[in-house]
Structure 1
Amino acid sequence: MKKIVLIISSCLLSCCSLISAKTDMPPPVVYNKWSSSSPGIMIKKVNYALESQNLTWWWTKYNDKTLNNLMESAFANNNQLQIAAANTDYANAQLKSIEFAWIPNLSFLTGYSSFPAMGSLGYFYGGMASYSLNVFQQIKAQEQAKYIVKATEYQQKSVQLGVIGQVAVSYFSLLAYREQLEIYEKLNADLVEILKLNNQRFKTGVSSQKEPYISASEISQVQAKTQIIKHNIVLTQNAIKYLTNQNPGTIAVTKKFSDINADLIVVSELPLTALNNRPDIQEASSRLEAANAGIGVAQSELLPTISFANFYRGAAPNFGNSFTTNDLNQMVLAIPVINAQALADIAARNAIYKQIYFQYMQSVVAALRDIDNDISEHAQYTVQLNDNLRALGDIDKTCYLDKARFDSGVSSYLEYMNCITKYDYYRLTIVQLKLGKIMAMVKLYQDIAITKN
């Protein structure tokens, strides 16, 4: 028996050389410097594993209870997060199923028989322990399952990042749309006042009928845009309700969009650090490792399988026949000689590995592209917002002078109202640019996989 065990052990050890890792694919090339830059973005290397306890959720810096409550509600109730968590539970269950393959099967049998070939047993009973295992296939399958569990855990983190980004964008958009609605309503009232002035000028013969027509047309355009803004408010409210797993409805807010600081510092990272922190890249890497282990699973089909069975039986005498209780033992080492299907399976697993490898490479390049694009977008909105804020300040000063000129009788009230409407239009532009900058910031946090800073 010892000789058999030694022979089996040496055979199994010699098969180790058949299972080798896939290492012929080159790793991605990552330059440790971003092509774009933006004011308000600070490059900093953050070790989240060590510093996470000292950091806070980035959105809490706005000191907005409504936003904080919406995030907490999304974490607790969002269906996407629940689905991702269920996928992780399923992957862990699959891993346990593979790990339990190391445990032999045990069955209990009992019954009655008067069959002569079985010795007219009468009432019989027995227990059977069976074990069939390809050791190398079991090891590789377990390794593959562990990588799949990691991949689903990273996928769950990616979903969390996505939900955070969607809630933040929807909330800031809601605030922006409500402020735009207020501005459009004021602009409409200002244009109505200008229409009255132009009608008076036309009736007194100071101007032609062209000016009232232009004013009426502008009012119609503003009223049409107001309806679009109202619809956008409904859409964003319903989006937030959907993300928090609630029925459609209104959302009460405690802050105005003008109170939101668009100049909060965004903590960025060097490209390699950012990639290592991104859960989608970690997921792609884990799936690549799982595919590599899958090749080993297929290769192990060409390796021996050990089967062992032990059957203990006992019986009550039947018709005076005697029966001796004993064990039946069996051990088999099955060594594949011809297994063409296994060769085809190995080729298929290699093809899957290549497919996942190029998906991984594409994910890396796409991540670097998205982050650099978002840095550039943040810079563009920052510059535009600053320029338009200066222009808004100049318009405000101009309107102040026009009001003073009107009060002193030097200019007309119409001239002052035209300046006021121009100021309203600039305010609408400011809101759009500010929202664009904040959305670029949210996308940066998501792309760099930062939830705390």
Structure 2
Amino acid sequence: MTKLPAARATLAALSGAALLSACSLAPTYQRPAAPVAATFPADSVGAAARTSVPLPLAANARTAVDTGWRDYFPEPRLQSLIAAAQENNRDLRTAVLRIEEARALYNVQSADRLPNLNASVADTRAKTPAFLSSTGVSTIGKRYDVGVSVSSFELDFFGRVKSLSDAALSTYLATDEARMAAQIALVAQVAQAYYTERAYAEQYALAQQTYEARARTYQLTQQRAEVGASSRLDLRSNETLMETARAAALALARQRAQAENALTLLVGQAPASAAAGALPDARQLDNMSALPAGLPSDLLIRRPDIRAAELRLKAANANIGAARAAFFPRISLTAALGSSSPSLHGLFDSGSGSWSFAPQLTLPIFDAGRNRANLTLAEVRNNLAVADYEKTIQTAFREVADALAARDYLGEQEAAQRAVQEAQADRLKLLQLRFDNGVASSLDVLDAQRELFSAQQSLVQVRLLRTTTAIDLYRALGGGLQ
């Protein structure tokens, strides 16, 4: 019994030394330089000066990360769809479960940094044959043991366990950042799907109105042809325009139904029936697109996918430390403290205390190149993580630059397309007057109707493109989640 305190002290000292003296052989982490230009393309800024859209870094504008999606998308129906998608979307649910998986793996790995303390109770019986017994008589021995033990606890002097734990922690944090990136992407996807469906609905309404107007014109032309007031060419031309509008309406109805199905998949359930909205007008789009772009370096702290890529790089860097530590001796400790007795009633009697202390040192001598190959593998994976991190930054830079370029020019394109529509509508009105007075031919009127319908459809498409560009800019700049 006099040696038990010494055993406890030795065990505590070695465990404390292992926890406090663990170093890491991982390379000192340094963030790679961003492989992009220091500023976004100057053409975008120059074009912005020619539009009504505020310049990047406007003093009165908020950054994307400070603008929650409820502020960015004020329409109640769209807000309800986004909220439902965050509750029911299966991809986002998978991303959340990946976080739980990564957290559990980190907890498993970090548990190796502390000793596992086990309690045990054993009843051992063994028969010794007569020819092996010192008395020449077979005997049955009995032994009872109770105690606590530490089994194969690695004293992490070279940081192998610590490096593995650091890698697991970085992987867990990267998974959380990936979930945030998926959530931002989901908000953008729902908004884009919603406005795409609204654009198809608007185009379908125009096509249906055009078809009904042309059907009335065709009926009048048919009546005139029956009495000889119109030619067969006029009749066929009107019929062609009518069926063209009908075909366009049917195609748009199909596209709208498919857009509704895509929205249902994103939301995770059938969208609740509510009053349908419309595409944002020019003023709303100007306000949505007024988010400042900032500098490329700002993306490093705004975009969760870039932060996730950097955390994966840190995990790969830590794995190099674990691979390096494999070349050094591995010291493990097995110890037990308890009481032993040949009889159950004497298990806790005075003098029945027992202990064992078994440190073990393992030094790799020959492993057929396994440790060297593992180190090479860790270094290659680290280089891959660097390439992935740099590619993520370049992709983010390109997405922001594309959104800025589109923002700068689409405002003017919409204004030009609106002017085209207004000119075509006025042209049709004038030609109709000339036709009524016998100056213009019916073919000129039919051509003007066709051109007006095309201009109306093109204007809706440009407005949708401006809307999706504003959404892309919000997502590319790391839009807020609240």
Is 1:134 the counterpart of 2:161? The answer is no
Report the CA distance shift for 1:155/1:223 in structure 2 as closer, same or farther (over 3 A).
Answer: same
What corresponds to 1:214 in structure 2?
Answer: 237
- In the alignment, the residues of structure 1 paired with residue 31 and residue 305 of structure 2 have an alpha-carbon distance, to the nearest angstrom, of 23
Report the CA distance shift for 1:207/1:162 in structure 2 as closer, same or farther (over 3 A).
Answer: same
Using the TM superposition, give the Cα deviation of residue 333 of structure 1 relative to its aligned residue in structure 2, in angstroms: 3.3
2:299 to 259, 274, 291: 274
> What secondary structure does 1:30 align onto?
coil
How many pairs does the alignment contain?
445
2:98 to 87, 90, 99: 87
Report the CA distance shift for 1:52/1:197 in structure 2 as closer, same or farther (over 3 A).
Answer: closer
Using the TM superposition, give the Cα deviation of residue 403 of structure 1 relative to its aligned residue in structure 2, in angstroms: 6.5
2:468 to 421, 439, 450: 439
What corresponds to 1:32 in structure 2?
Answer: 39
Residues 106 and 129 in structure 1, CA contact (< 8 A), matched pair in contact too:
yes
Report the CA distance shift for 1:19/1:378 in structure 2 as closer, same or farther (over 3 A).
Answer: closer
Matches within 5 A, 1:118-133: 120-130=141-151, 131-133=153-155
Report the CA distance shift for 1:57/1:253 in structure 2 as closer, same or farther (over 3 A).
Answer: farther
What corresponds to 2:136 in structure 1?
Answer: none
Residues 98 and 142 in structure 1, CA contact (< 8 A), matched pair in contact too:
yes
Is 1:77 the counterpart of 2:69? The answer is no
Matches within 5 A, 1:344-383: 344-383=373-412
Is 1:302 the counterpart of 2:348? The answer is no
- Deviates most, 118-127 or 265-274: 118-127
Residues 310 and 328 in structure 1, CA contact (< 8 A), matched pair in contact too:
yes
- In the alignment, the residues of structure 1 paired with residue 320 and residue 123 of structure 2 have an alpha-carbon distance, to the nearest angstrom, of 48
Is 1:234 the counterpart of 2:263? The answer is no
Q: Give the letter for the 2:147 counterpart.
A: G
What corresponds to 1:67 in structure 2?
Answer: 78
Q: Give the letter for the 1:70 counterpart.
A: L
- Deviates most, 209-218 or 346-355: 209-218
Residues 36 and 375 in structure 1, CA contact (< 8 A), matched pair in contact too:
no
- Deviates most, 189-198 or 111-120: 111-120
TM-score by length of 2: 0.80
Is 1:193 the counterpart of 2:221? The answer is no
Is 1:335 the counterpart of 2:363? The answer is yes
Unaligned stretches of 5+ residues in structure 2: 1-5, 129-138
Using the TM superposition, give the Cα deviation of residue 159 of structure 1 relative to its aligned residue in structure 2, in angstroms: 0.4
Unaligned stretches of 5+ residues in structure 1: none
Report the CA distance shift for 1:295/1:433 in structure 2 as closer, same or farther (over 3 A).
Answer: same
> What secondary structure does 1:449 align onto?
coil
Report the CA distance shift for 1:276/1:351 in structure 2 as closer, same or farther (over 3 A).
Answer: same
Residues 134 and 304 in structure 1, CA contact (< 8 A), matched pair in contact too:
no
Deviations 1:21-57 (A, max 9, x none): 36697652432233441442531289x9x9899x442
- In the alignment, the residues of structure 1 paired with residue 182 and residue 373 of structure 2 have an alpha-carbon distance, to the nearest angstrom, of 36
- Deviates most, 86-95 or 394-403: 394-403
> What secondary structure does 1:336 align onto?
coil
What corresponds to 2:57 in structure 1?
Answer: 44
TM-score by length of 1: 0.84
What corresponds to 1:284 in structure 2?
Answer: 309
Using the TM superposition, give the Cα deviation of residue 88 of structure 1 relative to its aligned residue in structure 2, in angstroms: 1.2
Q: Give the letter for the 1:238 counterpart.
A: N
Residues 294 and 349 in structure 1, CA contact (< 8 A), matched pair in contact too:
yes
Is 1:387 the counterpart of 2:416? The answer is yes
> What secondary structure does 1:246 align onto?
coil
Report the CA distance shift for 1:58/1:114 in structure 2 as closer, same or farther (over 3 A).
Answer: closer
Using the TM superposition, give the Cα deviation of residue 298 of structure 1 relative to its aligned residue in structure 2, in angstroms: 0.9
What corresponds to 2:275 in structure 1?
Answer: 253
- In the alignment, the residues of structure 1 paired with residue 105 and residue 281 of structure 2 have an alpha-carbon distance, to the nearest angstrom, of 50
Q: Give the letter for the 2:112 counterpart.
A: A
Using the TM superposition, give the Cα deviation of residue 80 of structure 1 relative to its aligned residue in structure 2, in angstroms: 1.6
What corresponds to 1:184 in structure 2?
Answer: 207
Residues 114 and 318 in structure 1, CA contact (< 8 A), matched pair in contact too:
no
Deviations 1:318-342 (A, max 9, x none): 5999984321122233333444311
Report the CA distance shift for 1:400/1:59 in structure 2 as closer, same or farther (over 3 A).
Answer: farther
2:110 to 83, 86, 99: 99
Is 1:161 the counterpart of 2:172? The answer is no
- Deviates most, 79-88 or 368-377: 368-377
Residues 170 and 312 in structure 2, CA contact (< 8 A), matched pair in contact too:
yes
> What secondary structure does 1:326 align onto?
strand
Deviations 1:401-452 (A, max 9, x none): 5677788x57689677765564343222111110111111111211221237
Q: Give the letter for the 1:31 counterpart.
A: A
Residues 407 and 466 in structure 2, CA contact (< 8 A), matched pair in contact too:
yes
Report the CA distance shift for 1:338/1:22 in structure 2 as closer, same or farther (over 3 A).
Answer: farther
- In the alignment, the residues of structure 2 paired with residue 384 and residue 175 of structure 1 have an alpha-carbon distance, to the nearest angstrom, of 20
Q: Give the letter for the 1:256 counterpart.
A: A
